[in-house]
Structure formats: C-alpha cells, structure tokens
Structure 1
C-alpha cells in the first residue's frame, strides 16, 4: 500500500495532463496498459485517435465520391472502435477522449496530434511504438520526425515488444545523462515516477568511437568526457540523496569502432535489466548532440523498454 500511495503522490506532480495517442495496433494496447499503471486516478488522461482522410489514401475522380464517403465512414467507425477498446482497459477510471477526423479538420496526422496536445495543454504524450520501426503504425516515416522534433511536451514511448511488463510501474529505472541542464531536468522528472522500491541507475556515455577525428584528438576528447561524466554523475547521486534515494552511477564507454552512443545506452539498460529509460532531449555536448534529433530517435528505435523523453526544459526547470 505504501508503494501505491507514493506513486500517487509523485506521479501527479511530474505529469498532470497525459494524452494517450492510439490506433488499432497491439502497440497501443501496451501503451494503454502502461498509462493506466502510471497515471490512472493520478492525472487527467485524454485518449486521442486520428481518422485518416480517405482522399489522401485513394485516387480521386468523379466516380470515386461515393466510395470515398463510404471509406470515410469505415475509417471513422474503426477509430471509434479503437477508442472503445482502450476505454475498456481503463474501466472504472475517468477518461477524456477525442477523435480527430482529418476529412473535416484537414492536415496530417502529426499536425493533428501536435495541435491536439497543444490545445489541450498536455504535459505528456504517450504512444506505442513498433520495435525497431519507429512509433505507431500511423506515426511511422515522415510523421514520427515532426512529432518528436516539434512536440513542446514530454513523450513516453512504449514498445509493442517490450521485454518488461507494461501493466505495472518500473522497478528499475535508468537515467542517461550528459552535461546539460536538461538531462538533470530529466533526472528530476523521472524520479517523480519512481516508487520507494524502484532501483535507480544514472549513466554517462563516453563516446570513444573514431568518427572523423584522429587518435590524438579522440583521446583528448575522451578525457574531457571522462571529467565531465564524473562531475555529472556526482551531481546526479547528490540529487537523489537529497530526496532520500540511492542511485548507482556508471561511466559507460562506447567501443572504439562500429559503435555509437544509442547502442551503448541500450546495452547498459539491457545488461542492468532496466525497465524504464529516461532521456533529457535538449542535451548538448560539444560535437555530439547525442540526446537530440537522430540520436534520440535511434535510441528509441533500439530500446526494448518504455522510454521517457523529457522535453520543454525551460518550463520544467522553473519548477525544480
């Protein structure tokens, strides 16, 4: 009972308005289970689905109008069925829900999700994702990039093939840190989702891969990273201790060839049997912006656990 009350007292402070973006995939089911475990009764949850405009999916012509109208009705019906299926998972929990019909509102799926999250003032977007293939089936390809790049709030992505249970909160949480203020915001935010029994681990990755620099330059840069990493991890341990929590820390090094930071992060999470990975997504570190853009996207695609991407650094920093 103590564990449940702790989650209730902390999760609401981290995220109060959670938008769960759904489709009809199994990935959505995993995300819904996780949303229920973390936030049911502790935050306002809004379930949102997007009904595609059949005009963007089918060739147009004078003889296709009746078919397009029929297709739209079928798409909307499928979307409503998806909403009903997810609402059943939350039986007994108060939910908000919404369907964005692109036949009426125009635009594309990414814009629809971002606009809905913005107008509803969501501070977290939750989605399922297909393993190694990006986000939801309907957020793959060109849609996933603008959602990740333009979202002004945090994202929690849940793999369809997650190796950890998604019907309970994480008991082993990994924070991947760099030298930025936003990675510390990610740590502070993620800690609010931890229960008293959650084991914590903070890591800093030293990138030793050769890339385009010569050996001497790599060695010099590695020394800089090592010094920064020790400082960052000491601060992380201190932040946890101030909250009465212990976090083990580790400097992780990439291999010198055929390796990169995303693979190093995911390997460590797997080796430690982590159940939730937390990343601050506005990190900067010299030549490597390894918690931004394509690196964060690659880490998400590789991950076999839920991944929390903490966004909106300035707003969150003001609350810590």
Structure 2
C-alpha cells in the first residue's frame, strides 16, 4: 500500500499476512492483491505446499517404485511458486519470508497443512487465490478454500484469478454485507482497516424474498419482519461508522422470489457496483433470515468475481 494512502483505522490486527501459493496465475493475483493492501512494515509469509506423491498416484501399480524423483520435482515446483510470488514484493517496504511445506513428511492434507502453518506462525490473515471450475492444480480453488474458510483460526482473503484490477494504494470500492449481528459489526470494523480516505464504502443487507415461511406466518407479516430486521442491521452499521466519523452509502437489496439466493445477490451487487473487495463475517445472526452464516460465505466463494474477505468473529 502506498504510504500516502493512510487507512481509516490502524492495521494493528493485520500485521502478519500468510499467502498460500502454487504455480498458478491465481496465486500471483493473490500476491499482487496483498502487495496493494498491506501496510508499510507488514510481515508477509509466502507458503507453498508440495504434495505427497503417494496421494497423487494410485499405490497398487506402484508397489516398490521409488517416488523420490517425483517428490523432488514437486518440491522444486513449490519453491518456484514461492520465488515467483516473492518477486512481487521486491520493491516495497513489506517484510517477506518464505516456507515450503513437504506433505510427504507429514500426515496432513493441504487444507490442514495450511491451517497449521497459519496457527503456528500466528497469522492475522490467510490469503489464497481461487480458480472456479478448473480441474488441474486445484488445491487453492473451492475444494480447499471452502474448508479453510470454515476452520481457519484467522480471517481469510480469497482472490479470484479473474480479478485483474490494480489496487495500488488499497481498495477503491469496498462492499460490506451486514446482518446486524455482533460478528457482522466486527467484520465491518476489521474491513475498515484496509480502507483509505479515498475508498468508497457501501453497506448492504440482503432481503431474502426466496425464503418461504407462509405455511407458518402470513407472508406480509413475514416480509415486514425481514424489512424491519434489515433496516435495523443497516442502522446499526451506519451508527458504528458515524461514531468513527466515516461516511458510507447503504442499501437494502432483495433477492428474486424464485431462482435466486443470498450468495448470488451479494455477488451480483458487488459486480454491479464494481467493488474491489467484499467483506463478510463467517458467522452471523440466527434470527428470521439466517442469511449471513458460514454456508452463505462458502457459496459466495464459489461464484465471486471479486476478492472476498471473510472475517472471523472475536474469540469468546
């Protein structure tokens, strides 16, 4: 981040950023995004995981076969991925170190190896790139990033490979999905640490019109309750920002009554508004709408074209 683009809040909770990389363009996009948002003096660790060849190749036809050459090639690939990502930070003020994890020496899968790396290093933020609907080199796409989003001890930033904007100096347009819960308010505060005075902010609450409870509650009463809940969520977020003397626009966004859901509404709004970053809590309220839950966050990751920051709630 450009030092001249001071953030609205201090980066005190985001000083240690772990980037998981492989040999894909998605990983380079994730590293470039971090280079744009990291505060001067932030400590970045770039980690690549070398697969265990015994997990990649069926064992029965290879009984007694020496897989050391395959292991060496996988390690070289991981080292090359780390080197490429590290070169992105060559001209900045960010402190960067690297690590290659050899899964042939561990009994873990990819997700849990990254989880342990984040926990051991005490990362404040884990960053991964993702490629939707690709079959090769898949360890950082939905098959891994979704489990990480559920079990990671820190917040997680997912950067789609399709996202190509230059965010030097920080995100220009940040979209916050809010639901009025305590985790949602914490996600708002956390996300503001990446916003600068030049960043446009937008608060949205999704009114899920596809929800069906008319067998139990008259539909007009149910919809009125959803609107009331949404207005309260937006008002609470606006009050928090007002207390920090930060301005933002807000909107209630409705899903279509059929063939739509909350994740698609969030992604659609982010695309229409040209957001550079979507901020969500990983857990939210369990009231009438129940929309900002972990399952919604995971589904957003599958379809987003915009980087998504999933903020972990404060530990009890």
- TM-score, L = length of structure 2: 0.90
Whether the 8 Å contact between 2:210 and 2:255 is mirrored in structure 1 is yes
Q: Is the 8 A contact 1:208 1:256 kept in 2?
A: yes
Q: Would the alpha carbon gap of residues 132 and 191 (structure 1) be closer, same or farther in structure 2, given more than 3 Å must change?
A: farther
Supply the distance in 1 between the matched residues of 2:172 and 2:240 (Cα, whole angstroms): 19
SS of alignment partner, residue 34 of structure 2: helix
Count of equivalent residues: 313
Partner of 1:176: 177
Compared CA separation, residues 258 and 70, structure 1 to 2 (3 A): same
Question: Alpha-carbon deviation of 1:145?
Answer: 3.6
Partner of 1:121: 122
Aligned to 2:165: 164
Match of 2:238 in 1: 237
* Bigger fraction of residues in helix: 1
Output aligned runs, 1:242-281, within 5 Å: 242-281=243-282
- Residue 16 of structure 2 is aligned to residue 17 of structure 1: yes
TM-aligned CA deviation for residue 86 of structure 1: 0.8
Q: Deviations over 1:243-272 (max 9, x none)?
A: 221111111111111111111111212222
Alignment deviations for residues 28-60 of structure 1 (CA, whole Å, 9 cap, x no partner): 011000111111534211111110000111133
Q: How does 1:42-61 map to 2 (within 5 A)?
A: 42-60=41-59
Counterpart CA distance in 2 for 1:187 and 1:114 is 24
Look up the match of 1:138: 139
1:141-152 alignment to 2 at 5 Å?
142-152=143-153
Any stretches of 5+ residues in structure 1 without a counterpart? Answer: 316-320
Change (3 A) 1:302 1:114: same
Residue 90 of structure 1: aligned partner: 89
CA gap of 1:40–1:194, structure 2 versus 1, over 3 A, is closer
CA contact (8 A) 1:3 1:195 kept: no
Larger mean Cα displacement after TM superposition, 51-60 or 280-289: 280-289
The structural deviation recorded for 1:63 is: 5.9
1:81-135 deviation per Cα after TM superposition (whole angstroms, max 9, x unaligned)? 111111111114421211110111221101100011011111110011114669x
| Structure 2 residue 75 is matched with structure 1 residue 38 | no
CA 1:199 to 1:132, structure 2 compared with 1: closer, same or farther past 3 Å? farther
Distance 2:251 2:196 in 1: 22
TM-score, normalised relative to structure 1 = 0.89
- In the superposition, relative to structure 1, how do residues 31 and 139 fare at CA in structure 2: closer, same or farther (>3 Å)? closer
Q: Is 1:224 the equivalent of 2:225?
A: yes
Alignment of 1:91-106 (within 5 A): 91-92=90-91, 93-106=94-107
Residues 130, 145 of structure 2: 8 Å contact kept:
no
Separation in structure 1 between the aligned mates of residue 157 and residue 38 of structure 2, nearest angstrom? 12
CA RMSD, 1 decimal? 2.5
